[in-house]
Amino acid sequence: METRRATVALWLAAAMAPIGVAPASAQEKAPDAPVKGIFRGVITAVKFDISPPLRSFQVEPPVIKEEEDERDRPSGLERPFVGAQAPDAAVQSRVGGGEIPAPDQSFNTVGGLGPNPPDSVGDVGPNHYVVMSNLRYGVYSKTGTLLLGPLNNNTLWAGFGGPCQTENAGDPIVLHDQLADRWILTQFTAAGPNFFNCVAVSQTSDPTGSYFRWAFPTGTNFPDYPKYGVWPDALYISTREFSAAGPFAGVGAYAANRAQLVAGNPAAQLLSFLVPPGGTAFNVGDGLLPADLDGTTLPPPGNPHYFVGSMDLGGPYGAPQDALTIWKFVADFVTPANSSFSLASTLPITTYDTIFPCPGGGRRCIPQPPPTATTQFLDILSYRQRPMHRLAYRNFGSHESMVTNQSVEAGAGPSGPVAGMRWWEIRSPNSSPVIFQEGTYAPGITDGIHRWMGSIAMDRAGNMALGFSVSDPVNVFPGSRYTGRLVTDPPGQMPQGEGTFVNGVGLQTTTNNRWGDYSSMNIDPVDDCTFWYITEYYPVTSPSNWMLRVGSFRYPAPQCIPVPVELQSFEIKD
C-alpha cells in the first residue's frame, strides 16, 4: 500500500504542477462552497446568422495540431492523497454468460493525423449518423456511407466571423434533438481573451443543410469541457470555467431557450449560473453532467432539469464520502430572475476508487501490448471527479431513470491493478432520488483486460448497453467493445456477455498519453431500441493516426419490441 500511496502522490504532484496548490491550511480556511449557483443573468449571442447548406462546403485538408496541455487541466484545488482507498464493493469480475447480440453495423468514420485526444462523439437520427471529433466532423448514412466531409469543425461557422470561424478549438458535442428532429453541433473557443460556446442548430432534419448559428459569450472565463443535454424547455450546458488569469472559477451551468433555438431566434435567451468551488470543492469536483432526454415520453410537467456530479472519499478534493450529487436547474425564461441552480441531493454510493496507480505518474495509466507495454500508457481519466458523457434520462411512465458511468480502479488483476467502469441507475430524481442499482464492470480482474472510457444508455424497455475501450499489456490492442443487461437481469450486473465493434490493430505512440476524454452511447429514434456507440481505436501503430469507430446493435423482440415511434412534436413559441 505504501508503494501505491507514493505512486498516487507522484500523480497528484504531476497533475497539479502547472497551476500549483494552496497549502492544506489555506484550503481549510476557505469559505464553504454555496449550495446554489450564482445567477449571472440572461445572455444573448454576440453574433447570429444562418449558414449556407453544409453540403456546399468544400472538403478541406485536416488541421493538424496537438490539443494544448491546458485543456481539461487540473483545477488547482486538488489535495494530496491521504490514506488507503477502500476496495470497490460492487465489482463484477467476469464477463457474463449471456449472448449479447452481434453488431448490426460497424464502420470507420472520421480519422486523421491528430490531435490527441480525438474526443469522439456522435448521435443518430432517423436517416443519418453525425460524427464530431477534435477537430473534424462528418455525416454518414446509417450503413456507413460518407455523405458529407470530413470537414474541419470551424467550417460549420464559415463566413460567420470571429473566433467561432477562425478557431478550430475542439471539445465538440453533437446531439440529435428527436423532439424537433434537428441536429445540434457545438465547439468552444480557447484563444481568448474573450471566450464563446459556438452552437449550431439545423434548420431542418437534414444534417447536410443550413444551420442557425450563435456565438454565446462566457466573458473572460474559458469554458472548458462543455457538455450538453436536450430537454423540452432548453438546451442545457455545463462547463469547467477558468478565469483569464488561470485560476479555476467554478462550474458553469446554462439553459438556452430551446424553442427559440429551433425557431432560429437571433436573440435566443441563455440563462447563466456559476458555482464557485469555495472550501468544499468536492461539491462540483471536475464538472457536472446535464441530463439528455431519450425516448419521446417527456418528463412530468413542472419537473426541473438535472445535472449529476460524483465525489470520491479518497479523491483529490477531500470529499467526506463516496457519492453522487444531483443538482436541479429551474429555468424561467419569462421571469429569468426566478430561475435557480442548486444542489438538491447527495446520494451515497457503494465504495469505489477513482485514483488509479498509474505506473508512470500523471496520465500514464492503461498499458498497451508490446513493444510499448512498459513505455507508453493511455489516459484513464478516472481521477477526474465527474461522470462520463452521457447522463441518459428516460421517463418510463411508471418511473424516471438516469444512467451514467465513470472509469475506476476496480481491483487487482493478473498483472496488477485493472481499470473498470462503475455505472449507476438513478430513479425518481425529482421527488425522492435513489441509487436504484449500480455495479463496476471489471472482468479484467479475471482476464487482465482493462475496460474504461465508457458510455451507457437505456432502450425503451429499460435494457441497457455499456460501450467502452479495451487494452491489456499482453495482446489486446486498444479497441471498442460493449456489454449490457436486460431489465429482467439481477440488479447491479451486466450479464449479457461481451460484444466487439472493432479489435484494435495498432498502438498509440504519442507522448501525451491522452485517450478519448469521452465517447457516446445513443438510442436510435426510429425504433427506440437500437444502441449506437462511438469511440476511438488505432488501425495502425502511430503517434496520432486514430480512427473513430461507430457500431450499433439491439436486443431482439420480445426483449425490446422495435415498434416504430413517431417523433413527438409540440408547439414552438418564440
Q: What are 400-458's pLDDT values in tens digits?
A: 999 999 999 999 999 999 999 999 999 999 999 999 999 999 999 999 999 999 999 99
* Residue 307 contacts residue 324 (beta carbons within 8 Å): no
Q: What is the pLDDT of residue 492?
A: 98
Q: How far apart are CA 569 and CA 554, in angstroms?
A: 25
Q: What is the pLDDT of residue 84?
A: 65
In sequence order, the 6+-apart residues with CB closer than 8 A to the CB of 266 are 45, 48
CA 174 centroid distance within chain:
11
SS (H, E, C) 244-283: CCCCEEEEEEEEEEHHHHHHCCCCCCEEEEEECCCCCHHH
Instruction: Residue 118: name the closest of 525, 500, 516 by CA.
Output: 516
Query: How far apart are alpha carbons 19 and 462 in whole angstroms?
Result: 44
- What pLDDT was estimated at residue 16? 30
Listed residue (208, 307, 292, 216) closest to 253, CA to CA: 307
Provide the pLDDT for residue 567: 42
The set of cell numbers assigned to 394 is 428516460
Ranges of H-type helices in 395-479: 444-447
Contact assessment for residue 167 and residue 178, using Cβ atoms and an 8 Å cutoff: no
**Nine-digit cell string for 364:** 500514464
Helix (H) or strand (E) holding 16, with range, is helix 2-16
Q: Give me the sign of the Cα torsion angle 405, 411, 413, 415.
A: positive
Under DSSP, the state recorded for 542 is B
- 137, 140, 493 from 208: Cα distances, Å: 11, 10, 40
User: Which grid cell sits at 366?
Assistant: 492503461
Residue 68: half-sphere exposure toward Cβ, Cα within 13 Å: 10
Residue type, 300: P
Using CA atoms, how far residue 544 sits from 103, 190, 334, in Å, is 27, 22, 48
Q: What is the Cα–Cα distance from 388 to 289, expressed in whole angstroms? A: 8
What pLDDT was estimated at residue 572? 39
Q: Which cell numbers in the block locate residue 132?
A: 464530431
C-alpha distance from residue 200 to each of 176, 186, 213, 243, 293 (Å): 12, 6, 5, 25, 19
The enclosing H or E element of 480 equals strand 479-485
Q: CA separation (Å) from 79 to 205, 280, 316, 355?
A: 48, 12, 5, 13
* 521 backbone φψ class: left, alpha, beta (φ>0; ψ -120 to 50): beta
Q: Identify the helix (H) or strand (E) that includes residue 166.
A: helix 163-166
Q: What's the CA gap between 26 and 28, in Å, rounded?
A: 5
What gap in Å lies between CA 182 and CA 163, rounded to an integer?
A: 24
How far is Cα 232 from Cα 228, in angstroms, rounded to an integer? Answer: 13
- Measured between alpha carbons, how far is 368 from 537 in angstroms, rounded to an integer? 12
The grid coordinates listed for 284 are 462540483
447 φ, ψ (degrees, to nearest 5): -100, -5
Integer angstrom CA distances of residue 486 from 92, 491, 521: 16, 10, 16
For residues 420 and 441, the answer to whether their CB atoms sit within 8 Å is: yes
Cell of 295: 425516448
Measure the N-to-C terminal CA separation of the chain; round to a whole number of Å: 60
- The number of beta carbons lying within 10 Å of the beta carbon of residue 573 is 8
Return the pLDDT at 569: 41
DSSP class of 102:
P
Name residues of the chain where pLDDT drops below 70: 1-34, 59-70, 81-84, 113-115, 372-374, 563-574
**pLDDT value at residue 53:** 97
β-partners of residue 122 are 131
| Peptide bond between residue 117 and the one before it cis (omega within 30 degrees of 0) | yes
Q: How many Å apart are CA 527 and CA 276, to the nearest integer?
A: 42
Beta strand pairing call for 464-471 and 270-275: unpaired
Distance (Å, rounded) from C-alpha 240 to C-alpha 277? 11
